[in-house]
């Protein structure tokens, strides 16, 4: 269950929202494109399964909110970037919390996190290769 909430958030942390004017963000390999609307600092998307999320940036901070249709859970995550390292914390509507770090290395990000339920995970994501846990 933790991965369902974290994957959208973690994937968004190291990615810049800058894109060519009029071009939507690209989907991750193997993923169907989500319907998105975006501005200079906000991205909001909904996929074909009814999941949705929004991402806003301000300076070095990233704010994410979302909804997981399968579980009916809402979630929120905040991240702060220091160079190539991002620290993040999040919470679900049932009170589960998580915290971790994500480090950008070229086109790859390596994230490590732990949750209030005792779970730990390492997720490596590449813009071309997708994610591996």
107-133 pLDDT per residue, tens: 999 999 999 999 999 999 998 888 888
* pTM exceeds 0.75: no
Domain interval for residue 126: 2-132
To the nearest 10°, report the CA torsion of 7, 9, 14, 16.
120
The predicted structure's pLDDT at residue 48? 86
Kindly indicate the confidence band of residue 17, based on its pLDDT and cuts at 50, 70 and 90: very low
Backbone torsions φ then ψ of 88, nearest 5 degrees:
-140, 155
pLDDT at 21: 43
What pLDDT sits at residue 32? 64
Question: For position 36, what pLDDT does the model report?
Answer: 86
Q: Which token pair is 8?
A: 């959208």
Distance CA 2, CA 119 (A): 8
Whether residue 70 has pLDDT greater than 50:
yes
Task: Indicate the pairing of strand 73-82 with strand 120-126.
Answer: unpaired
pLDDT at position 8 over 90: no
Q: How many domains does the chain have?
A: 1
Q: What is the reported pLDDT for 129? A: 84
Confidence check: pLDDT of 1 > 80: no
């Amino acid at each position: 269950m933790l991965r369902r909430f974290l994957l959208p958030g973690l994937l968004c942390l190291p990615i810049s929202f800058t894109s060519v004017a009029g071009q939507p963000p690209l989907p991750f390999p193997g993923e169907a494109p989500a319907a998105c609307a975006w501005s200079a600092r906000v991205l909001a998307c909904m996929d074909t399964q009814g999941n949705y999320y929004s991402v806003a940036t301000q300076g070095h901070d990233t704010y994410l909110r979302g909804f997981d249709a399968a579980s009916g859970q809402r979630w929120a995550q905040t991240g702060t970037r220091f160079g190539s390292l991002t620290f993040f914390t999040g919470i679900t509507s049932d009170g589960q919390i998580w915290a971790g770090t994500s480090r950008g290395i070229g086109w790859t990000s390596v994230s490590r996190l732990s949750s209030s339920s005792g779970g730990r995970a390492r997720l490596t994501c590449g813009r071309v290769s997708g994610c591996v846990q």
